Structure 1
Amino acid sequence: MDVLSEMIGSIRIGRAHARRIKETGSWGMRYDAFTGSGFHVVLHGRGWLITANEPPRALRQGTVVLAPFGVRHGLSHAPCSLDALPPGDMSAQPPPDGHADFEFLCGAYRLEHGQVHEYLLSLPDFIVGSPDDGVPELASLAALLVADVSQAGPGTEATRSALLDLLLVHVLRGWLREHHSADWPHVKDPVVVAALRHIHSEPHTPWTVSRLSAAVGMSRTAFTRRFTSLMGKPPRDYLTGVRLSQGGRLLRETDASLAAIARQVGYSTEFAFGAAFRREYGISPGRFRDAARTGPVVQDERDRHVGTAPGP
């Protein structure tokens, strides 16, 4: 499995949201940080992307803004400070009929459990693309999303997820082409890249740190130090996160038994998988699967204080 495909599978653990927004005159809105990935697609007019650490960036029709891991940001009719913007309204209320100065789609995958995929965390805070950047598919996807949002009906959750998947993939493909990168954009160390490929393509292998270090031709101590320095966590913790992310995808997308899923992601028993999954996600695999099919469930009492900040 390539990294982009695996990443798409991981965000499907969350639920897809999208709405169409129209603004006229002086307007602005702030989106607080959240766990997941968010999009804005400009359908008409001009505006500005407002962030905490970069100068305001002009937006025009056809521009797509991707927030890979839900960083706090805002949109406005004019350059301003992020703190000056009011919170965005994320209700499901449709936009008013008639002309507007600025019209856009706002979409997101919000993760109710788990963490954003490591690949997304390796990307810039924001990626901005348009059909002019050599990604002509963006215009067609935006039109399909408009139709999907405007005519919600049976199958909407499936179509919306698929369209957001495609939007994410095409934005990232364009960005990767521009930056001449096919793997992990922030990892230049070939030894660590080789280890990442082993982990992501073979999570079922009974990896130990010693076995991974041998596979990439390094001593255990040197490999652990090098991997941790670049990835921000030790190899064992990283491997656990990948296995559980893939396990969550299989729970959501397949009817495989817990025992079968456990084996596929490198756990010897369903009990070992279940214990690790609950530590990471705050919910048992069975309840997670039920929530994926019927809607969110309340986490265990000890985890109820863990919330997800609102986002686009």
Structure 2
Amino acid sequence: MISQAITSLRVGRGTVRRFRQSGSWGMRYSGLTGSGFHVVLRGSGWLIAVDAPPVALRPGDVVLVTSGADHGLSYAPCALRGLPQVVLSLDQPVSGPADFEFLCGAYRLDHGQVHPYLGAMPDLLVVSPDYERFPALRSVVSLLDDDASQARTDTEVTRSAVLDLMLVHVLRQWLEDESSKGRPTISDPAIAAVLHTIHNSPQTQWTVSQLGETVGMSRTAFTRRFTSVVGKPPMTYLRDWRLSCAARLLRETDASLAAIARQIGYSTEFAFAGAFRREYGVSPGRFRHPEQGTPSAARLEMTTSVTRSHTTEVSGG
């Protein structure tokens, strides 16, 4: 399930930036869409949330922002509303050490929604990487730092792969840590099996009864149980998954709208286009080529945000 959740984020655009702060520094991230993280490289600071106590951060700590929750980083504990909104510019200082240095990586979802798996997790997670269990994580952080330092524009494919690795490793460590505390992450194996079926065959013309039959449940019992675990009815989840797959195909392939419609279970290109517009607020063509949109849309595309279930598969991966 982790890999599928991360795959769903690829409908957004990956970004990595390095920040250096000194003195009485602080910044607030609000109005965010997507998922992302901060990695502390140097110094100490505090994670500031809306309705939770500040959390001390040390070098190596990773703050995972699962679903775009408003939050802040600061040199000292404070109220979130007192921090200035972060400003991303291209003239970050590049020489000399700072009091606090960190990487900020994100998948910005301009029109989409985070996967229910991520949406059901706590809004903000702090993980202190265990390099003995996850030795590759150290290399991933190094690769991200190199990417951010070079500020190149030709590394989008590589960047997405490294962002994937970072999110996967951090999520897996957090899940293992939670499991060791007696907090199981598998809520319902039967529903996990249905989700696996949906994810692997979105093009199938599923009915609620057919999905229930795959795990030996009646239509009524299955609908009630699925909705309780996932947070939405089966057909709503199926539609959302299909359109999430479509968004990824639009961004990653040159497949025609008709071909994409067939791959995700829509009988016609027109039915697919109508459903996509209702979900994402733009046509499939405009989603695929946002640079052809209005000037205001283009500016929105360039605005950097830091990226904001209960469902899991038996394998947890």
**1:161 CA drift (Å):** 2.0
Letter of the aligned partner of 1:215 in structure 2?
Answer: T
Matched, 1:196 2:195: yes
Which residue, out of 22, 45, 48, partners 2:20?
A: 22
**1:216 CA drift (Å):** 2.0
TM-score by length of 2: 0.86
Letter of the aligned partner of 2:102 in structure 1?
Answer: F
165-174 vs 127-136, greater mean Cα deviation: 127-136
**1:282 touches 1:300 (CA, 8 Å); kept in 2?**
no
Whole-angstrom CA distance in 2 between matches of 1:180 and 1:296: 47
Letter of the aligned partner of 1:75 in structure 2?
Answer: L
Letter of the aligned partner of 1:229 in structure 2?
Answer: S
Whole-angstrom CA distance in 2 between matches of 1:229 and 1:55: 30
Q: Which residue of 1 aligns with 2:222?
A: 223
**1:219 CA drift (Å):** 1.8
The answer to which structure, 1 or 2, has the higher relative contact order (CA under 8 A, 6+ apart) is 2
Q: Aligned-pair RMSD on alpha carbons?
A: 2.5
Aligned length: 299
Q: Secondary structure at the match of 1:20?
A: strand
**1:54 CA drift (Å):** 2.2
Whole-angstrom CA distance in 2 between matches of 1:300 and 1:88: 21
**2:33 touches 2:108 (CA, 8 Å); kept in 1?**
yes
Q: Which residue of 1 aligns with 2:314?
A: none
Q: Which residue of 1 aligns with 2:169?
A: 170
41-50 vs 158-167, greater mean Cα deviation: 158-167
**1:112 touches 1:296 (CA, 8 Å); kept in 2?**
no
Q: Secondary structure at the match of 2:130?
A: helix
Letter of the aligned partner of 1:297 in structure 2?
Answer: G
* Structure 1: unaligned runs, 5 residues or longer: none
Q: Secondary structure at the match of 2:289?
A: helix
**1:203 touches 1:264 (CA, 8 Å); kept in 2?**
yes
**1:130 touches 1:138 (CA, 8 Å); kept in 2?**
no
TM-score by length of 1: 0.87
**1:152 CA drift (Å):** 2.4
1:115-156 superposed Cα distances (whole Å, 9 cap, x missing partner): 111121122212222333633323222221121112123513
Matches within 5 A, 1:85-234: 85-132=83-130, 134-180=133-179, 188-234=187-233
Q: Which residue of 1 aligns with 2:293?
A: 297
Q: Secondary structure at the match of 1:179?
A: helix
Letter of the aligned partner of 2:51 in structure 1?
Answer: N
Whole-angstrom CA distance in 1 between matches of 2:238 and 2:294: 27
**1:281 CA drift (Å):** 1.0
1:98-127 superposed Cα distances (whole Å, 9 cap, x missing partner): 121111111211111121111211222122
Aligned-residue identity in percent? 60
Q: Which residue of 1 aligns with 2:270?
A: 271
Q: Secondary structure at the match of 1:112?
A: coil
